Amino acid sequence: MKRKKIFIILGVLILLIIIILIFQRERVFYRIPFLAPEENVKLVRLYFASPDADYLKVEARRILREEGITDEAKVLVEELINGPRGNLDPTIPPETQLRELYIVPEEKCAYLDFNKAFRANHPGGSAGELLTIYSLVNTLIDNLEGIERVQILVEGKIIETLAGHIDTTKPFPRNSAIVEY
Amino acid sequence: MVKKILIGLVVTALITLVALPLLAQQEEIRVIYDEGQAQATIKSLTFQGTNFIYLKEMVNLFRLDLKWDAITKKVTLTSGPDQVIFFVGSPQIMVNDKIKRLIQPPRFSNGAILLPIEFLSEILDGVLRAKIDWDPKTRILKVNGGRLNIRELRHSSYLDSTRIVIDLLRPLSYRVRKDIPAQITIDIYGGEGNPGQLSLEINDGRVKNIQAFQLPNATQVVVRLIQDLPYKTFILKNPHRIVLDINPPQKRLGYKITTIVIDPGHGGKDPGAIGKGETREKDVVLAIAKELKRLISERLGIRVVLTRTGDYFIPLKERTAIANNEGADLFISIHTNAALGRARGGGFETYFHSLALTENAKAVARFENAVIKLEKGGRGKSMSQAEFILWDMAHNTYLNESSELAILVQEELDKKLRIRNRKVDQASFYVLSGANMPSILTEVAFISNPREESMLRRPDFQKRIAEGLYNAIVLYKRSYEKSMGLAISEQ
């Protein structure tokens, strides 16, 4: 009898843990800032699309602080690819992979090199392209010291456009007109 | 007692020995270029009776490219075909694969690299096409020829013109020749440049490339054009620079709209955006473009050219090239929009071209005299965004016309369509960047939005879009020809 009770209690406990794990999986399985000491955590501003694809809006997120600016930039891009957690919309096709990221301090420029999926799975459209480009550009420029421009590359090469609209042959400066606060 | 004095003496001697380099005398050396045409002063330090100068200053003096390897302490200096390599601390200097020796090796002082002055008079003399003489009595360094006096070549491509700027280090006389078709040659007398740094690939629809040649007494800059275009050159000061404007803005002569180029987006291997129901952008926009062409040619009697009339691929650059070659008065690119996300967007919007506003562009803008007009208003050291847009507008003659057409399109589509009116916006569109006429790109609905996708498939919806665009063109034509007519009757 007593033993049964213990089993029931244990079962309930295990269930509870599973439930907690399911609902808190974001915190448990992703980087776990709430376990990390405060000085290792950085609050960043990520730009995602507004639900009507009109503007970019900010989603604040805590990420683990990285050693160098290049690693920090990589984490920011990965977070953008992972997509929003709140009620904003993604700006980058989820199949996208960041192949490489270089920062050239003298140019104050970050070079982002994506795989083919970035282009192949892009929805197209002027609005879609602008949201993709400036979510990357504004996020990197806002969160990293000394970065003023962002150049997008695919498979290591400069491309004319993502899907036939916006000129991507040159680095982009920040764009505040596309942001709604 | 004696011991104490001895220790004291030794300590003093040690301190002096250590401190001596720090007490090195700092003086100045006068540099005279080309028999007094220009002068400069550089710092010099004396160690053990030898004059040293800073590597940094020398590099600036001769505009050399400097490479520094901190691990091996290797310094590589290059200037055009000439290369000088040495290691700090070693008296051996490699000059264009020949080894020369210095009496005193290059050395460090407080983290800077110092070179004995004989580095200039013995090593660099003859290299860099320069003659260098050092007179230790008068402390004057004479440099004749060799110093690069053409610093760099820059260019900016605008909607309808290209500006090429040659930055000089001092005033030089020049001549512009036009003796070969589609080519402009600038001879800069007494010019010394690095031809590699003065050559550029441009390919902006007007200029193919720029190539520089170093002659014994001049630098020749050859600008190759796609076709013959009007140009003008002038010189600006502080800093000295030669400016060449290809196809400079001028008032248009024709005041009637006679040709319109319509560009159905994408095509062939590029389907454009694809809706959930497999509707392809390239098919929808072609149908709309054909309908619009029919309306214009039937009702207005204006010549209409489509950039593509079927399902085939045309590169973006070629689309505006068609419009330029046809001498079109308007360029209208028709697209359907798309976005990621749950709703996947909705509504119609119209864009016109603008350059991305970069800090760099602002700096360049500030540089050119076009802006001095703006700055005459006073104070402004750095340009505000609004000022830059003004400048941008002055340079892009068709920006006003394009924005006017975009506004009309948005208003007229709004009367015809019951989907959301998004906005008129500007962005740097690859397809619009080479257009020599007012140009817009309209996104008539979101194909990524299932509701709008099914609308886009319907011929009556396509027809309504074409009618909206047609009405906007009629209104634009009327207001444009009226304003131009007024301008002409006033003259």
Q: How high is the pLDDT of residue B384? A: 47
* A49/B359 CB distance under 8 A: no
For chain B, the average pLDDT equals: 80
Chain mean position to CA B81 = 26
Highest-pLDDT range among B5-9, B114-118, B412-416: B412-416
Domains of chain B from N-terminus onward:
24-144 (3.30.457.10), 150-246 (2.60.40.3500), 259-354+396-490 (3.40.630.40)
**A149 and A70 in one domain?**
yes
Residue B22 in this model has a pLDDT that exceeds 80: no
Among A90, A132, A167, select the one facing B428 at the smallest CB separation: A167
* A164/B342 CB distance under 8 A: no
- The fraction of chain B above a pLDDT of 70, given in percent, is 78
**Cβ(A135)–Cβ(B346) under 8 Å?**
no
* Long-range Cβ pairs for the range B391-394 (8 Å, 24+): B391/B365, B392/B354, B392/B355, B394/B370
**A160 and A116 in one domain?**
yes
Q: Is residue A8 part of a domain?
A: yes
* A126/B270 CB distance under 8 A: no
Tokens of B453: 């996708």
As a whole number of angstroms, the distance between CA A175 and CA A140 comes to 12
Question: Which of B74-83, B177-186, B416-425 is least confident?
Answer: B74-83
- The fraction of chain A above a pLDDT of 70, given in percent, is 89
ipTM of the complex: 0.80
Q: How high is the pLDDT of residue A38? A: 60
Quick one: which of B78, B76, B77, B101 has its CA closest to B91?
B101
* Domain that includes residue A24, residue range: 1-30
A49: nearest CA partner in chain B? B341
As a whole number of angstroms, the distance between CA B276 and CA B274 comes to 7
**A141 and A90 in one domain?**
yes
Q: For the segment A86-123, what is each residue's pLDDT rounded down to a tens digit?
A: 899 999 999 999 999 999 999 899 999 999 999 999 99
Question: Residue type for B317, please?
Answer: K
**A22 and A50 in one domain?**
no
Q: Is the pLDDT higher at B123 or at B467?
A: B467
Alpha helices in B20-54 (DSSP H): none
Q: Is the pLDDT higher at B76 or at A161?
A: A161
Q: For chain A, what is the domain count?
A: 2
Reduced 3-state DSSP string for A137-179: HHHHHHHCCCCCEEEEEECCEECCCCCCCECCCCCEECCCCCE
Q: How high is the pLDDT of residue B376? A: 37
As a whole number of angstroms, the distance between CA A129 and CA B199 comes to 33
**A66 and A16 in one domain?**
no
Q: How high is the pLDDT of residue B394? A: 45
Phi, psi (rounded to 5 degrees) for B146? 80, -40
Q: Is residue A179 part of a domain?
A: no
Whether omega for the bond prior to residue B249 falls within 30 degrees of 0, making it cis, is no
Q: For the segment B278-296, what is each residue's pLDDT rounded down to a tens digit?
A: 999 999 999 999 999 999 9
Average confidence (pLDDT) over A125-129 = 95
**A94 and A43 in one domain?**
yes
**Cβ(A79)–Cβ(A61) under 8 Å?**
yes
Among B349, B358, B430, select the one facing A149 at the smallest CB separation: B358
Q: Is B346 on the interface with A (CB under 8 A)?
A: yes
Q: For the segment B336-362, what is each residue's pLDDT rounded down to a tens digit?
A: 999 998 878 899 999 988 765 443 344
Q: Is A165 on the interface with B (CB under 8 A)?
A: yes
**A133 and A46 in one domain?**
yes
Residue B167 in this model has a pLDDT that exceeds 60: yes
Q: Which residue has the tokens 């996708």?
A: B453
**A68 and A105 in one domain?**
yes
Q: Compute the nearest-CA separation of B463 from chain A (Å).
A: 21
* B340/A171 CB distance under 8 A: no
Q: Is residue A139 part of a domain?
A: yes
Q: Is residue A152 part of a domain?
A: yes
Q: For the segment B452-461, what is each residue's pLDDT rounded down to a tens digit?
A: 999 999 999 9
Q: What is the DSSP letter of A66?
A: P
Q: Is residue A178 part of a domain?
A: no
Q: Is residue A132 part of a domain?
A: yes
Q: How high is the pLDDT of residue B251? A: 45
Interface test with A, best of B337, B340, B362 (most A CBs within 10 A): B340
**A41 and A25 in one domain?**
no
**A88 and A118 in one domain?**
yes
Q: Is residue A180 part of a domain?
A: no
Residue A169 in this model has a pLDDT that exceeds 70: yes
As a whole number of angstroms, the distance between CA B448 and CA B471 comes to 27
Say if strands B348-353 and B330-337 run parallel, antiparallel, or are unpaired.
Answer: unpaired
> What strand order describes the sheet that includes B348-353?
B303-306, B259-264, B330-337, B439-446, B348-353, B421-427
**A105 and A65 in one domain?**
yes
Say how many CA atoms lie within 13 Å of B188 toward its Cβ: 30
As a whole number of angstroms, the distance between CA A163 and CA A15 comes to 48
pLDDT band for position B162 (50/70/90)? Answer: confident
Q: Compute the nearest-CA separation of A141 from chain B (Å).
A: 13
**A91 and A8 in one domain?**
no
As a whole number of angstroms, the distance between CA B331 and CA B53 comes to 60
Q: Compute the nearest-CA separation of A91 from chain B (Å).
A: 6
Contacts of B339 in chain A (CB under 8 A): 49, 53, 89, 123, 125, 127-128, 131
Q: Is residue A147 part of a domain?
A: yes
Q: Is A125 on the interface with B (CB under 8 A)?
A: yes
Q: How high is the pLDDT of residue A34? A: 47
